[in-house]
């Protein structure tokens, strides 16, 4: 274990120790009184107790959402009213920005700068959809003869939304905002490891004017609550972000009632650095691409391909900067890398690193757990760089979900594209080159939903986010997302003066 210096700052104090379910606009305890604890990954300490939803609670939430959708006023509300409410949600979130950031850090162990950026994006998601919904509607289509065709967009109904633990508030916003913008009702199941900010967001929605039953939050077991939502016949759509194996299971379960499904799943994203790239920019961007959010990102650029002519120089600079990254108090603005979410995920990360060593790989940086002064009971892992690998190794093929990157050489553009696409995943990717034509050619041939060219950022409100292959389907964070939560109704009318007699009898 390596000791990493901590910059001491005062630790925040939780203002609240118990979090309720949110069902039909009310804070309620679970039907059987069950609770569970949530822990601070940076310290291992309990930070709050949370009501644990049962199937009975989930049924109540579904019925509340169903009644709100079938008989309530939300879906019939004028678009401008829904838009105002979404902006009000964003306004309340802005007024509680520091509280949300603090809570997100305590619940996830992520660094201050990461939490601040993610909370801000969650706010901007509601603002984006408040504007996007105003221009979202049907079309008028030209038809021959005296016929007229137009389409209308109608909300799909009750939506089950299952949130991952790595971006708790941001992912909740990605899903709730477009769904309620078009008039749907939602039942949200946050991850059991990180439920707190999703619960707060549910309370904020109600405070902002979202009617009772439109937004329900039911933290609980995936096997119990999640599966019940996915299989329930009165749930019309499922949106899930998480691992590919669970996504496949959800798709199979949802197929029994032909639910609409959106899946944003795992990734093993390539990061290609050509010989004409700005090396310093590529180093800095690649560093961010894998170690941001402690590498616990589905689109983390965890496979780094560097042209053989600049490989030595790039690797030297990359490793040097990796070793300078600071682990420590997540509330300290100088901290770059936060904690791993829990012991189980720490073991997964360490297991992959050990498998790479056993298969003959070379550890250039990190490769083991880190000890952070003052946070000895937290789950810390050194930012890790692995070389001398090949595509048959587990560490290259499988998603690790931690601060671990593998580096390989390539000789030309053709080989770079082949290596990048040699994966079952297809979520993110990055290309570094000063040659605009080359960057465009490569971007067009990479089998991934997102390509970042000379840029480390993968998601901003308005930019489609989603994957190819086993990284899932459907796009979030964009105007097209509104279509995922709506039905398109086609209406054909005849305006001729003579009655139609198709059979001629």
Q: How far apart are CA 107 and CA 139, in angstroms?
A: 45
User: What is the torsional sign of CA 292, 293, 295, 298?
Assistant: negative
Which has the closest alpha carbon to 459: 261, 293, 318? 293
Q: How far apart are CA 489 and CA 154, in angstroms?
A: 7
Q: How far apart are CA 247 and CA 292, in angstroms?
A: 24
For the annotated catalytic residues, the residue numbers are: 264, 298
Q: What is the 3-state secondary structure (H, E, C) of 256-324?
A: CCCCEEEEECCCCCEEEECCCCCHHHHHHHHHHHHHHHHHCCCCCCCEEEEECCCHHHHHHHHHHHHCC
**Residues ≥6 apart with Cβ < 8 Å to 451:** 428, 429, 430, 431, 443
Cβ contact 317:279 at 8 Å? yes
Q: How far apart are CA 126 and CA 384, in angstroms?
A: 36
Which has the closest alpha carbon to 398: 470, 474, 339? 470
Q: What is the CA radius of gyration of the chain?
A: 24
How do beta strands 486-494 and 147-155 pair?
antiparallel
What separation in angstroms does the CA of 96 have from each of 17, 166, 256, 379? 18, 21, 42, 28
Cβ contact 38:195 at 8 Å? yes
Q: How far apart are CA 171 and CA 173, in angstroms?
A: 5
Which has the closest alpha carbon to 239: 482, 502, 76? 482
**Residues ≥6 apart with Cβ < 8 Å to 475:** 449, 464, 465, 466, 481, 484
SS3 content of the chain, % helix, strand, coil (to 5): 40, 20, 40
497 CB-contact burial (10 Å; exposed 0-12 / middle 13-18 / buried 19+) = exposed
């Amino acid at each position: 274990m390596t000791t990493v210096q901590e910059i001491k700052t005062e630790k925040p104090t939780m203002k609240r120790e118990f979090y309720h379910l949110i069902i039909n606009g009310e804070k309620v305890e679970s039907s059987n009184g069950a609770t569970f604890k949530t822990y601070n990954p940076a310290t291992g300490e309990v930070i709050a107790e949370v009501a644990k939803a049962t199937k009975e609670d989930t049924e109540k939430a579904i019925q509340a959402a169903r009644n709100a959708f079938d008989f309530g006023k939300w879906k019939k509300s004028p678009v401008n009213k829904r838009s105002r409410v979404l902006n009000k949600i964003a306004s309340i979130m802005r007024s509680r920005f520091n509280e949300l950031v603090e809570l997100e850090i305590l619940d996830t162990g992520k660094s201050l700068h990461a939490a601040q950026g993610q909370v801000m994006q969650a706010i901007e998601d509601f603002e984006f959809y408040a504007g996007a919904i105003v221009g979202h509607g049907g079309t008028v289509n030209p038809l021959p003869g005296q016929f007229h065709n137009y389409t209308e967009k109608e909300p799909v109904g009750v939506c089950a939304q299952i949130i991952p633990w790595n971006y708790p508030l941001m992912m909740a916003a990605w899903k709730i905002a477009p769904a309620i913008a078009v008039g749907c009702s939602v039942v949200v199941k946050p991850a059991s490891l990180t439920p707190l900010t999703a619960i707060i967001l549910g309370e904020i929605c109600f405070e902002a004017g979202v009617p009772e039953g439109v937004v329900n939050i039911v933290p609980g077991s995936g096997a119990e609550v999640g599966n019940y939502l996915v299989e329930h016949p009165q749930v019309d759509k499922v949106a899930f972000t998480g691992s590919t194996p669970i996504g496949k299971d959800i798709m199979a379960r949802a197929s029994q009632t032909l639910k609409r499904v959106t899946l944003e799943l795992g990734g093993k994203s390539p990061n290609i650095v050509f010989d004409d790239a700005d090396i310093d920019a590529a180093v800095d961007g690649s560093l961010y691409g894998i170690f941001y959010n402690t590498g616990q990102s589905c689109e983390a650029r965890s496979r780094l391909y560097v042209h053989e002519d600049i490989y030595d120089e790039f690797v030297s600079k990359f490793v040097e900067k990796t070793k300078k990254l600071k682990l420590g108090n997540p509330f300290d603005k100088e901290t770059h890398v936060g904690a791993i979410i829990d012991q189980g995920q720490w073991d997964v990360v360490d297991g992959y690193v050990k498998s790479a060593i056993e298969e003959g790989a070379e550890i250039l940086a990190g490769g083991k757990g880190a000890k952070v002064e003052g946070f000895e009971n937290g789950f810390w892992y050194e930012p890790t760089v692995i070389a001398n690998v090949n595509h048959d190794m587990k560490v290259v093929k499988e998603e690790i979900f931690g601060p671990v990157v593998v580096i390989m050489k390539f000789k030309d553009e053709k080989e770079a594209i082949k290596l990048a696409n040699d994966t079952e995943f297809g979520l993110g990717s990055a290309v570094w080159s000063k040659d605009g034509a080359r960057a465009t050619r490569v971007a067009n041939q990479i089998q991934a939903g997102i390509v970042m060219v000379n840029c480390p950022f993968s998601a901003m409100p308005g930019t489609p986010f989603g994957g190819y292959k086993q990284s899932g389907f459907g796009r979030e964070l964009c105007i097209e997302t509104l279509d995922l939560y709506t039905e398109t109704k086609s209406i054909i009318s005849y305006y001729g003066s003579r009655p139609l007699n198709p059979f001629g009898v």
